[in-house]
Amino acid sequence: EAGVAQSPRYKIIEKRQSVAFWCNPISGHATLYWYQQILGQGPKLLIQFQNNGVVDDSQLPKDRFSAERLKGVDSTLKIQPAKLEDSAVYLCASSLGQGAQYEQYFGPGTRLTVT
Amino acid sequence: AQSVSQHNHHVILSEAASLELGCNYSYGGTVNLFWYVQYPGQHLQLLLKYFSGDPLVKGIKGFEAEFIKSKFSFNLRKPSVQWSDTAEYFCAVIFKAAGNKLTFGGGTRVLVKP
């Protein structure tokens, strides 16, 4: 079965610019997650969707970050405007359901560099 | 806030050596515990998990982990490592009181020398 797809794989932008990342989860997976992984740290959950509804966005910097999953499948994460500290790998993951028993499958990530 | 700590940032060892990676978490009531691994150039993937029952959990590729509730620890072990175990290892915890989100430790980079 195909895994979680993400694009682009790499992105370099200047501070104050905008950027968007795309994620296509595994087919049939109702739950989708976006994580931020800063160099030298573990992934940190930014937002969790169940179908097209937000379950948890408590760690999403809402003044500059936004995410949507309009049809309950693909998702986009946007940063506007970007700051230097947003340089990180952005990981998308998906699972069949939102309970702990459902394994999360991770995509390859998008490496963002903000200069 | 709940947190997860991995004590070693880098570990270097030779093939056939034993590996133990430490993981501690802050007190937070009922927890589910996980170890994830990221091999070079690959995606993050689940190595093993603990929900309840026998505190010694066996995972893929000969890895095991032991949950010690009194020490808030979930250490990962492998008796004899191979060069192919070179990877970054992440401990992760779901603190049930805070919902079902994974909280990751900072990771440990393991280099196995042939």
Residue from the list B43, B102, B106 with its beta carbon closest to the beta carbon of A108: B43
Distances (CA, A) of A23 to A35, A66, B5: 12, 14, 29
Contacts of A104 in chain B (CB under 8 A): 46, 102
Min Cα–Cα distance to chain B from A81, Å: 27
**Residue-level pLDDT at B1:** 78
Q: Which residue has the tokens 């947003």?
A: A86
**B77/B68 Cα distance (integer angstroms):** 14
> Least CA distance to A109: which residue of chain B?
B43
Residue from the list A99, A103, A107 with its beta carbon closest to the beta carbon of B100: A99
Q: How does strand A110-114 pair with strand A10-13?
A: parallel
**Residue-level pLDDT at A1:** 63
The angle formed by the CA atoms of residues A72, A75 and A80, to the nearest 5 degrees, is 140
> Least CA distance to B41: which residue of chain A?
A108
3-class DSSP assignment, residue B61: helix
Residue A76: closest CA among A14, A34, A15, A23: A23
**B62/A115 Cα distance (integer angstroms):** 43
**Residue-level pLDDT at B100:** 79
A99/B104 Cβ within 8 A: no
Return the beta strands (E) in B1-114 as ranges.
4-5, 10-14, 19-21, 24-25, 31-38, 45-50, 56-58, 64-68, 73-78, 87-95, 102-104, 108-113
Q: Is the pLDDT reported for residue B24 higher than 80? A: yes
A106 has a chain B CB within 8 A of its CB: yes
pLDDT in tens, chain A (115 residues): 689 999 999 999 999 999 999 999 999 999 999 999 999 999 999 999 999 899 999 999 999 999 999 888 999 999 999 999 999 999 999 999 988 889 999 999 999 999 9
Residue from the list B32, B105, B107 with its beta carbon closest to the beta carbon of A100: B32
**Residue-level pLDDT at B68:** 95
Q: Which residue has the tokens 């930014």?
A: A46
3-class DSSP assignment, residue B98: helix
**A46/A77 Cα distance (integer angstroms):** 10
**A54/B48 Cα distance (integer angstroms):** 28
Backbone angles phi, psi at B53, to 5 degrees: 90, -145
B8-36 mean pLDDT = 94
